[in-house]
Structure 1
Amino acid sequence: MVLPYDFATTPYLILDFTRANPDLATLDLTDTQTFSDYVFGKLNAAGAVVGVGGYNEHRDIYRRSPHFQQTAEPREIHLGIDLWAAAGTPVLAPLNGVVHSFQDNNNFGDYGPTIILEHEWQGSPLFSLYGHLSRTSLDGLYEGKRVVAGEKLAEIGPFPENGDWPPHLHFQLMRDMQGRKGDFPGVCSLAERDAYLAICPNPALLLKIPGL
């Protein structure tokens, strides 16, 4: 559990951000308020508290930011699961662990404030990333700080401080940090897809959300 919801009883909506969603063709994704109104309008219409989904999704929304166009092939494959919920929603540690690293990835369309935890999972190292947090979520952190499963780790941040996205948590798992600190790609190109999916297992392993 990384949000304070029991997905067996909490109404949620799986959101589609691929080209199969016709809404995206006419939506001004560069205007974060418009994008946010769309996301939370969909949740409200469905009577949902939180929106979920996105692992290994070939998305059409990254055209909103040059941050994803800096390589020969644009980055469009999402490597985590997004949990779309109101700014200020608590983010919980899903496992015991320690703070591996943290930083404010302060670019339009980036993670904004980000925390990475290190765990031991089934006898091997496992890292978990939490992106699009509030800036205050980084207060008092230090590398090596111990966290306990279920404790409040952070809060979902508002835009623009969260990387200028509609409020949500990007939750991602990595088997290898590849020497990085405070950041790890959450989106890759089609050519990189297999290599990154081998490093980044499906976060549904921990979230246990029906339908994911």
Structure 2
Amino acid sequence: MSSKAFSQILSQLGQQAHYVLDPSISKSDYVALDLSITNEALKTVDVSSSETLGAYINTHIKEHKGQVAYGGYLETRNIYSRSTFFNADNLDTERNIHLGLDLWIAADTPIYAPLEAEVHSFQNNTNFGDYGPTILLKHNVRDVEFYTLYGHLSLASIQNLKVGQQFKQGEQLATLGDANVNGDYPPHLHFQIIKDLQGHKGDYPGVCSRQDLEFYKENCSDPGLVLGL
């Protein structure tokens, strides 16, 4: 299936009620957040500190009278430069382009399955700057199989989970972790859509390099399409 046809299916899903956070949170309470290298306001923020970055994000939410900050799909960021996990020798191979949608909200916030799903895999990805506890779900919509990834969860989210476990649409899947377990970030959900997992289990790249961008744009569609954001 072409990327365009797949995106059309996701867009049609987004016209209905699909959510990963509490559905009582109005879309008007979702505040767009820019963490790209072009955001001049970040030049005075120590983005390598989860505490300082978290304060910046929380202030942004309050100033816009929202409950959740969201954004980041295909955003080029410098917040990954603090970790050797993402760094490379040159700009073409450095991984700094974000492939998911981030939803910034407090730790312990419940996360829900946006679609009927089966647990494909899960694990705790403990590299500095990585996802921490991570869940991958498998979906089948109109005979099209694809996957969603949930990163930066709490440890409790994966303790009693089983591969093959079924989740109904809207059923609680997990809770968010804090900086102690989530790769050292302010609490947030990394939500990503993946067509082909390429053999990965419990993990999939959520950040890519400039030279690999075209492939990942095809394989990882905009998650905002499903959520209607």
TM over 0.5: yes
Q: Does residue 171 of the first structure (1) align with residue 191 of the second (2)?
A: yes
Q: 2:149 aligns with which of 119, 125, 129?
A: 129
Deviation of residue 60 (structure 1)?
Answer: 2.4
Asked whether the equivalents of residues 10 and 49 of structure 1 are also in contact (C-alpha less than 8 Å), the reply is no
Deviation of residue 7 (structure 1)?
Answer: 5.8
Query: What's the Cα RMSD here?
Result: 1.4
Partner of residue 73, structure 2: 55
Structure 2 distance, partners of 1:71, 1:132, is 27
List, as ranges, runs of 4+ consecutive aligned residues in structure 1 with deviation greater than 6 Å. Answer: none
Partner of residue 36, structure 1: 54
Deviation of residue 46 (structure 1)?
Answer: 1.5
What does 1:190-205 align with in structure 2 at a 5 Å threshold? 190-205=210-225
Matching residue's letter, 1:193: L
Partner of residue 12, structure 2: none
Work out the number of aligned pairs and report it: 209
Q: Secondary structure at the match of 1:196?
A: helix
Structure 1 distance, partners of 2:89, 2:161, is 32
Q: Write out per-residue CA displacement over residues 141-197 of structure 1, whole angstroms, 9 at most, x where no aligned residue.
A: 111011111000001111121111000000000011100000000000011011011
Partner of residue 182, structure 1: 202
What's the TM-score, normalizing by structure 2?
0.87
Matching residue's letter, 2:54: S
Unaligned stretches of 5+ residues in structure 1: none
Q: 1:170 to 1:71 in 2, by over 3 A?
A: farther
Partner of residue 181, structure 2: 161
Identity %: 45
Partner of residue 9, structure 2: none
Unaligned stretches of 5+ residues in structure 2: 1-18
Q: 1:130 to 1:9 in 2, by over 3 A?
A: closer
Structure 1 distance, partners of 2:53, 2:27, is 27
Q: 1:71 to 1:208 in 2, by over 3 A?
A: farther
Q: 1:76 aligns with which of 84, 88, 96?
A: 96
